[in-house]
Amino acid sequence: MINAIDIKAIAFTYPNKLETYSSIVQEFNKYSKENDLDINFDMTLLTQENSTYSIVDFSTSIEGMLTKKSTKYDIFFYNSAYINKYINHFINLKDYIPEEHLNMYDSGILNLCSIDDKIAALPISIDISALYSNQDLLSTHKIDVPETWEELINTAKYILEEEKKKNNTDLVGYNGLVNDEDDGSLSIYEYIHSYRDSNSDMLTSEIDSKLASEAFKMMKRIKDEISSEYLYGTEELANTIEKIVDIKKIYFVSTNTEDTSIGLILIIIFIIVSIIMFLSLILLFMEKYEPLFRFLPKDFWIISVLGSFIVLCANFTIYGKVTILKCLLTMICLTVGFGLNIVPCLYGLIINFPLKNRFSEWIKIHRYFLLFVFVLIFALINSAFILKPFTPMITLFDGGKNYERCVMMDSFGLFVLISIPFVDFTILTSILILVFIEWGIKEIRFETRCLLAVASLNIVYLAIFNILSYFSFRSYIVWHIISTCNYTLLSISNYLIIYCYRIFSLLMKNEEEDMYGSIMKEFQDNNERFNMSTTIKSAVVSESFEENKIKSDTNYNESTKMFTENDTFSRKNERISIHSTSSAKIMLLLLYNKSCI
């Protein structure tokens, strides 16, 4: 069969069931050869002996292959318990298989392979569990086969007590196969299903329902009275149910507060921050604040704030059940949002380069070209994730709560994923270099200081984000909070430093000016009060001075009159004195002359 069509299948089974699958392969190839179909059927059988897989690991691997649209296998054999995970990847067999062929299957069994009238698989084998009893012991003690759990407990207790009297202590009253393997979980569901009112209740009974609670109470009685096994020892029923639920349940954070209210709280914070971001854009169009935003054109300020908002939206993508689309949207929000938020800052530094050059002049005229280049780079990166999508991978923990994360399984996808921080660091490094060159420019002194802080913080955030992506946290709530905090801090810190800090600085400056103005006004008021007091005192002094001046003038006139009279008298006396003196001199001269003779 050189030109034969090869059909490849994969299955996971237990060693005791290998014959079931190998016989299918042999019978089909024999039929194909006898009828010249030129079809060769080949199956890869995985067991716990030839692989490290468990049935849960195998189901996760199948989901990964289906998500990546792998063509390695044509047919998948899987447990019907995982039909919900695979239903969207398979075709509806009702459109390809004749109805008379489907009618060959029992409707109840076929329903296990379908959801919402879509048949995604056909049953290949059925596992049936049976409760069997020791007929010899029942006959010896003349007891009928028990038909209820209550009858089983009473029958087992009676036979055990009677056999102990005969020194037969090797008997086990009941073995429900409740172990740590996959069969243990199936046994638990068998207990629950035994309490259903009808067969139709089999698929609707949840493990944490009232019906399941009654089943677990009976399991507790069986363990305490006639058995030695129990999945979780002597713990309380509520804790036991919770741990059993944890075995298969996949937890996630949502606005539903049934498991945790953290999702609703974070959504409220997101809404408040988003409203503040968009309302703050009004300041761009207020004349009072225009001088603060000269570093960039108004449209680039809007784009930068929009980028912060898009990064913040990444928080929405990790709410609810993890899907391939949500994984892609997370990367789009983080990469495109980061580019729109940071590239306008790079533009502002380029056009303010201290040395005149053609590149800066050209970018100033064609500013959208720079933005388009980086957005295009991030768009190409994200388009690669469409071709090589992420896989929602279950993170399993013993004794913990399982949750899903986005994991890149493809080698090319990993290469693209690694290129993202390289592009981010290139942008941030360019900003740091330009900040260093333009540090001394007075006109953009404020911007260079802010962008130094932005670039440094973003490098730290990106480093933390990439490091944390390699860690698994036992708590899905802790993982969600850490992821949310990382996205939120990246968004809000950039928004505050790039856009809001300049507004805060103006308000602080105005507050200082108001304080200074208040001090000056108080000083002026005090000065005016001082001047008024001085004026009043001066008026009083002036009035007193005028009165004294009048008195002084009167006294002065009287003094002048007296002085004049005195002066006249003095002059008369002076003339008399002079005359007397002259007469004396003449007399002396005559006497002198007389003596000389």
Q: Using CB atoms within 10 Å of the CB of residue 133, give its burial: 0 to 12 exposed, 13 to 18 middle, 19+ buried.
A: middle
Which pLDDT value is given to residue 541? 46
Q: What letter would DSSP give residue 198? A: S
Distance CA 523, CA 591 (A): 88
Q: List, as one string, the DSSP characters of 491-509.
A: HHHHHIIIIIHHHHHHHHH
Q: Where are the domains of the chain?
A: 5-119, 135-248, 262-319+335-386+418-510
Q: List, as one string, the DSSP characters of 313-344.
A: HTTGGGSSS--HHHHHHHHHHHHHHHHHHHHH
Q: What are phi and psi of 299, to 5 degrees?
A: -65, -30
Which pLDDT value is given to residue 583? 40
Q: Are 283 and 503 in contact (CB under 8 A)?
A: yes
Distance CA 247, CA 396 (A): 9
Distance CA 159, CA 135 (A): 12
Distance CA 308, CA 277 (A): 9
Task: Give the 3-state secondary structure of residue 582.
Answer: helix
Which pLDDT value is given to residue 406? 86
H/E segment holding residue 402: strand 402-407
Region of residue 24 (left: phi > 0; alpha: psi -120 to 50; beta: else): alpha
Q: Are 115 and 83 in contact (CB under 8 A)?
A: yes
- Closest CA relative to residue 493, chosen from 540, 459, 532, 527: 459
Task: Give the 3-state secondary structure of residue 12.
Answer: strand
Q: Are 506 and 292 in contact (CB under 8 A)?
A: yes
Q: What are phi and psi of 470, to 5 degrees?
A: -95, 0
* Residues with Cβ within 8 Å of residue 307, at least 6 apart in sequence: 336, 337, 338, 339, 340, 341, 342, 494
Q: Are 329 and 321 in contact (CB under 8 A)?
A: no
How far is the CA of 36 from the CAs of 8, 28, 29, 33, 254, in angstroms? 19, 12, 10, 5, 56
Q: Are 78 and 62 in contact (CB under 8 A)?
A: yes
pLDDT tens digits for the chain (597 residues)? 456 789 999 988 877 778 888 889 999 999 999 998 889 999 998 887 777 666 666 777 887 788 777 888 999 998 887 787 788 788 899 899 998 998 898 887 888 888 878 898 998 887 777 788 889 999 999 999 998 889 999 999 999 998 888 888 888 888 877 765 556 666 777 777 777 776 655 544 466 677 777 887 888 788 788 876 554 455 565 666 666 666 667 778 777 766 667 778 888 888 899 999 999 999 889 888 888 888 999 999 999 999 999 999 998 888 888 888 899 999 999 999 999 999 999 999 999 999 989 999 999 999 899 999 999 999 999 999 998 888 887 776 655 677 888 888 788 888 999 999 999 999 999 999 999 999 989 888 889 999 999 999 999 988 888 888 777 777 778 888 888 888 889 999 999 999 988 877 766 655 444 544 555 555 566 656 655 555 555 555 455 545 554 555 555 455 445 444 544 544 444 443 434 444 433 333 333 333 333
Distance of alpha carbon 123 from its chain centroid, rounded? 43
Which pLDDT value is given to residue 448? 92
Distance CA 565, CA 544 (A): 31
Homologous superfamily of domain range 5-119: Periplasmic binding protein-like II (3.40.190.10)
Beta strand pairing call for 114-115 and 250-251? unpaired
Distance CA 391, CA 63 (A): 8
Which pLDDT value is given to residue 32? 92
Distance CA 314, CA 309 (A): 9
